[in-house]
Structure 1
Amino acid sequence: KKINGYLNTSSTKHFFFWFFESRGNPQKDPFLLWLNGGPGCSSMTGLFMELGPCLVDRQGKSVSFNRNSWNKHANILFLDQPISSGYSYGQSRVSDSGTAIEEVYEFLQLFFTQFNEYAPLDFHIAGESYAGHYIPPLATLITRENRKINDFSNLFHRKMTPHSVVLKLKSIAIGNGMVDPLTQYKSFSQMACKNSYAPVLTQTACRKMDEAYPHCAQLIKRCYAEKDSYYCEEATTKCNEAMLVPFMNTGKSVYDVRKECKGGPLCYEHMYAVEQYLRKPEVIRASHSQITTFKTCNSAVNHRFVVNGDWMKPYHASVPRLLDEGIRVLLYAGDADYICNWIGYKDWAKSIAWSQQNEFNRAFDIPWISKSTGRIAGEIRQTRNGRLTFLKMYKAGHMVPYDQPEHSLDMIHAWTQGILGHRL
């Protein structure tokens, strides 16, 4: 069973979604919300290029069955957000992740009210890249609103929230996320010169990046402290000039150090095939879309977020509380990604100040074996109770499900079942 179309959170906000029931047991299998990043990139990219039931071919002409779809064991919802991403449309001109996730939450309330048979299911949020900005505050908003809804004894709280659906949030999963630039930007020189494959920059270029980092860190710290758009945009511009531009000038893909950047600035030729497919008149009719010029990524949305300084703002700050409140956190990363590389991502995981931080940092990195292939597919570190898990996926770039479909399906299925990795 699938459901697709629009839900309108207001007369000017029209959110497009595509929902697929689990191929297994939809009445009992978990419910997964998938968000792509950008900002401004459509989650239809995740659906038709990475982990959905049908994948678009490289010519953008047809789709084929995906046996490694994440809906093999889960109900999955792909949402185009913020407004003007993908097929979503309206007058909203969101320019920050905080406002964006408030609108996502309004959509979720509407979805689970209209399709209330899915509301009792365990709920998980997953996404990649810039979704590292969306997912932690969205999870925090959900837990806060759940408390208000559940507080029947406090009439004041009941009046404080118009929402009525409790979302049974169990975990979040972020792939190659941009979460904490202060920590992550320090790793760029190491990824450029000492990655698992081959150096991309010269040692001299990497030393220059190391020398530039202290000033970059000062700018990011000021952004974190002030949360002012001017300071945050300045940090974005100057840090990216120092850390990203030298790599981009080589012609290599910032999303995969093994490959040349082909197919425009997004460096994925396949994304343009998806774009062409979703512009076909028959596909537009079948999807009930009101948009005829689909874009995989909307540059206008991206620009609004960048000039507002959203790229550098500290949306990761709520993760320690989520962990201590019992929300499980999976951080997974392809080992060939540069822009959100595993080195800085893991450094951030180790820096998270929560009650089991020392245990996580003392834990060993051990081989992770894929159940479907029997091969060592990555490296995993986690707390004994699995509350925080970091998984480095071998031979994968920025989009792990795209490069490692079987292994990523194994990962997400084990994760939602609470059995990913080792247990002592």
Structure 2
Amino acid sequence: MNMMVPPSHNSLHYFCQILLSLVLLSLHMLTPLEAYGSKVEHLPGFQGPLPFQLETGYVGLGESNDDMQVFYYFIKSENNPQKDPLMLWLTGGPGCSSFSGLVYQIGPFVFEIKEYNGSVPSLVSRPQSWTKRSSIIFVDLPLGTGFSYAKNVTAHRNDWKLVHHAHQFLRKWLIDHPEFLSNEFYIGGDSYSGIPVPAILQEISNGNEKGLLPLINLQGYLLGNPITTYKEDNYQIPYAHGMGLISDELYASLQRNCKGEYINVDSRNELCLRDLQSFDECLSGINTFNILDSYCEDDSHLWRRSLTEVLKKSSSSHLTVPELSCQIYGFYLATKWANDENVRKALHIREGSIGKWERCYTTDFEREIFSSVEFHANLSKKGYRSLIYSGDHDAVVPFMSTQAWIRDLNYSIVDDRRPWFVNGQVGGYTRTYANRMTFATVKGSGHTAPEYTPEQCFPMFTRWISNLPL
């Protein structure tokens, strides 16, 4: 195994890394527009000074000042930032701002869900923030996402540009933050991030092997309900049957008429198409992101049957205000919050850099990577750790599809399937493989598991990141 040497075993090497990075930084000759992070001590909507260290900023990737500017939110570990791991978090979409990961899933604050009255939406602390155990960079990629901007956005919106830009961003960010060079480094993400994240890790690993500086102390990655093969739809139907959402008879007919292929269906196969229409009707009132959650009529972030069909509407373009009980009410509040002038000033957003902030900008993105399995296999050979977790009530990327590609990696099992516990209750089920990959289900959770069940996901994360069994 080509394992990275832990910093404790090679202190001189990492001292040289830090010294070199300081030299690189002094040579970088930053202009005011290229300047990196700024501290944020107060946020509109949050009462009092922030009880954690927040930095926001831009990293320029282009040759000219205003060419490509990647925006990020950085929160230092609330435990021991000198020693705790550093993680880069990439929200899915593709094109959803990582503010989603910060405020809805794993960050230290969350919107207080109450009726919007025209003032700045309120923020409150989240007790189960992953920043209690790790420093996290929430990055807005691809370009055009969140507060990131570029002269020609469309030219930068595809899978491989996203991979290259994330890699470039990270090395530049570490040059400006050399105190984190020795920290163990991980990448996390969910949903569509299952496609680019493994490729980003492989590019970082290859760069390390080629001697690119600064050296990144890459250790592994974690992914929640990740799109991986684009065959996820084929598992929606057996999943829906297993969860009692369709009848035995319809399931048998689908199997007979479609023969297990529910994505690329021959237009002449009328029996299969008829059965698929019946299936769609059965799920038309189901929130497929979490089948236990209420379905909201204008819940435009929900995909219907096809993962490849991108809905053009975003949560920021609703003509009507969502019901307070809908999950997307929080998305509505985010749009009101991020477009407030005082919020933009507090976040140090460059004036005139973008117009209206949208939580997700998913149009004009070109898909180029249609399976990330080969990257998982390569990373496994190099010995990197991984945690793949699935909310078991997600019908968009069912845990069955994730189990299937993990099984296809053909690694032996070192810790067979067993329950893992939180406060004496089953939090889900887990299995560990010889390639240092841990798979876990999160009981009763949906597509973005930390959003639905933070009480279970926080201990799952803290155990795994601490090299402890779930």
Tell me the TM-score range normalised by the shorter chain. 0.7 to 0.9
Residues 209 and 243 in structure 1, CA contact (< 8 A), matched pair in contact too: no
Q: 1:243 to 1:13 in 2, by over 3 A?
A: farther
Question: Which residue does 1:121 correspond to in 2?
Answer: 183
Contact 1:335–1:392 (CA<8 Å) still a contact in 2?
yes
Q: Deviations over 1:358-399 (max 9, x none)?
A: 336xx52101012xx33211101113x670111000011011
Letter in structure 2 aligned against 1:331: I
- The residue identity in structure 1 corresponding to 2:238 is Q
Could you tell me which residue of structure 1 aligns to residue 356 of structure 2? 293
- Using the alignment, how far apart are the partners of 2:251 and 2:157 within structure 1? 33
Cα distance in structure 1, aligned partners of 2:196 and 2:387: 15
Match of 1:6 in 2: 58
* CA positional deviation for 1:275: 2.2
Question: Pick from 300, 310, 313: which aligns with 1:265?
Answer: 300
| Cα drift, residue 52 of structure 1 | 0.6
Distance 2:277 2:187 in 1: 30
For 1:2-56, what per-residue CA distance to the aligned partner results, in whole angstroms no more than 9, with x for missing partners? 2102111113111110001000000000001111100111110110111111111
2:166 and 2:464 map into 1 onto residues whose CA distance is 23
Distance across 2 between alignment mates of 1:330 and 1:299:
26
Alignment check: 8 A CA contact 2:392 2:443 kept: yes
Which residue is 1:229 aligned to? none
2:125 is matched by which residue type in structure 1? F
Gaps of 5+ in 2: 1-52, 266-271, 303-326
User: Residues 17 and 244 of structure 1: is their aligned pair in 2 closer, same or farther, counting only changes over 3 Å?
Assistant: farther
Secondary structure at the counterpart of residue 256 of structure 1: coil
Structure 1 residues 83-122: Cα deviation after superposition (integer angstroms, max 9, x where no partner): 0111111123234322211011111111001111112110
Candidates 442, 453, 458, aligned match of 1:404: 453
Count of residues paired in the alignment: 371
- The aligned amino acid for 2:108 is P
* Residue equivalent to 1:133: 195
Aligned to 1:340: 397
Shift of 1:243: 9.4
Supply the distance in 2 between the matched residues of 1:43 and 1:213 (Cα, whole angstroms). Answer: 39
SS of residue in 1 equivalent to 2:145: coil
Q: Is the 8 A contact 2:246 2:282 kept in 1?
A: no
Aligned pair partner of 1:104 in 166, 171, 187: 166
State the SS of the aligned residue for 2:210. helix
User: Which is worse superposed, 27-36 or 385-394?
Assistant: 385-394
Tell me the distance in 2 between the aligned counterparts of 1:29 and 1:248: 47
- Specify the code of the residue in structure 2 equivalent to 1:406: E
Contact 2:86 2:134 in 1 (8 A): yes
- The 3-state SS of whatever aligns with 1:14 is strand
Q: Separation in 2 of the partners of 1:243 and 1:174? A: 32
Q: Which amino acid aligns with 1:81?
A: L
Note closer, same or farther for the CA distance 1:214–1:405 as it changes in structure 2 (3 Å cut).
closer
Q: Indicate whether 1:377 and 2:424 are aligned.
A: no
* 1:343-362 correspondence to structure 2 within 5 Å: 343-353=400-410, 357-359=411-413
2:169 partner SS: helix
Residue in 1 aligned with 2:19? none
Report the structure number with the largest CA radius of gyration: 2
Does residue 87 (structure 1) correspond to residue 147 (structure 2)? The answer is yes
Map 1:51-200 onto structure 2 (within 5 A): 51-59=106-114, 61-90=121-150, 91-93=152-154, 94-149=156-211, 163-182=212-231, 184-195=232-243, 199-200=244-245
Q: Aligned with 1:272: secondary structure?
A: helix
**Whole-angstrom CA distance in 2 between matches of 1:109 and 1:245:** 47
2:246 matches 1:201: yes
Maintained 8 Å contact 1:18/1:77: yes
> Residues 245-281 of structure 1, C-alpha deviation per residue, up to 9 Å, x if partnerless?
8168512112011123325211531222222222222
Aligned AA for 2:412? N
State the distance in 1 between where 2:153 and 2:441 align.
37
In structure 1, C-alpha distance between the alignment counterparts of 2:261 and 2:279, rounded to whole Å: 16
Task: Tell me if structure 2 keeps the 8 A contact 1:27–1:118.
Answer: yes
* 2:207 aligned partner, one-letter code: E
Classify 1:144/1:213 alpha carbon distance in 2 versus 1 (closer, same or farther; 3 Å): farther
Question: What is aligned with 1:43?
Answer: 98
Whole-angstrom distance in 2 between the partners of 1:281 and 1:136: 37
Deviates more, 1:185-194 or 1:23-32: 185-194
- Aligned sequence identity (%): 23
C-alpha separation between the residues in 2 aligned to 1:285 and 1:17?
A: 15
Query: Taking structure 1 as reference, are residues 292 and 255 closer, same or farther at Cα in structure 2, changes over 3 Å only?
Result: same
| Conserved 8 A contact 1:56-1:277 | no
Q: Closer, same or farther in 2 for the Cα pair 1:142/1:309, shift >3 Å?
A: closer
Helix, strand or coil: the match of 2:395? Answer: coil
Aligned counterpart, 1:283: 343
Question: Match of 1:156?
Answer: none
For residues 107 and 281 of structure 2, the distance between their equivalents in structure 1, rounded to whole angstroms, comes to: 31
Distance 2:277 2:209 in 1: 42
Deviation of the 1:284 alpha carbon: 1.2
Alpha-carbon distance between aligned partners in 2 of 1:101 and 1:85, rounded to the nearest angstrom: 14
Matches within 5 A, 1:409-420: 409-420=458-469
1:322 partnered with 2:379: yes
Larger helix proportion of the pair: 1
Cα distance change, pair 248–95 in 1 and its aligned pair in 2 (3 A): farther
Q: Distance in 2 between matches of 1:253 and 1:164?
A: 46
CA–CA distance in structure 2, aligned partners of residues 402 and 395 of structure 1: 12
**Preserved CA contact (<8 Å) 1:42 1:81:** yes
